[in-house]
Amino acid sequence: MITLSNSELAVTLTLDVVGYESPEASDNWLLLKVNLTQADKRFDRIDPALECIDIKRIHEWFSALSERRLPSSVRLWFTEPCLGLECYGHWDGRVRIAVNLACELRPPFLLRARDAGRDEWLDEELDGEEWSVWFDLTEDDFFNILAKLESYIQHYPARR
């Protein structure tokens, strides 16, 4: 399981590949389990959002970022447009990425942000159909993410 946290927005996102969509078939669709919490709100969903090759693409993308290199694409999308990844840059030893959730993986609630002038939550308007939140990743985060992606690649090889 990959866990990302944004303490400023009180968001925790976990992503986990939990199996093939059709265990007995020869297709390569994987079930992605998404758990997202923000303050008192929670969203859980399992969806066949990725193919086996996508896990390799995600690994290459995070590997480049962990080495402070530009990945092949700053924005990474997949056949099913439910999940997207985006790189915003790096500074102070951290890399900022955004995780975009859409379609079946889009939470039914608005992203909340703290009002800088008052200690209260404000609901952010969403641009378009995506639910997007940023995370600042450290070397430890990259180590854990890459190790988990390697595990997924081993456990869920392409079947055709």
Q: Which domain holds residue 51?
A: 2-155
Could you tell me the CATH number of the domain that includes residue 14? 3.30.2450
| CB-based contacts of 104, cutoff 8 Å, min separation 6 | 45, 47, 49, 82
Whether residue 160 lies inside any domain: the answer is: no
3-state secondary structure (DSSP) of residue 105: helix
Our count of domains for the chain comes to 1
Within-domain flag for 54: yes
Per-residue pLDDT of 82-125, as tens digits, reads 999 999 988 888 999 999 999 999 998 877 765 555 455 555 55
Q: What is the pLDDT of residue 8?
A: 85
Nearest Cα residue to 97 out of 61, 126, 128: 61
DSSP 16-42: EEEEESSTTSS--EEEEEEEEEETTEE
Q: Is 141 left (phi over 0), alpha (psi -120 to 50) or beta?
A: alpha
pLDDT in tens, 36-93: 999 889 999 999 999 999 999 999 999 999 998 888 788 999 999 999 999 998 888 8
Predicted local distance difference test score (pLDDT) of residue 124: 56
Model pLDDT, residue 159 = 85
Q: Is residue 27 part of a domain?
A: yes
> Does residue 10 lie in a domain region?
yes
**Any domain includes 127:** yes
Task: Kindly report, residue by residue over 133-153, the tens digit of the pLDDT.
Answer: 999 999 999 999 999 999 999
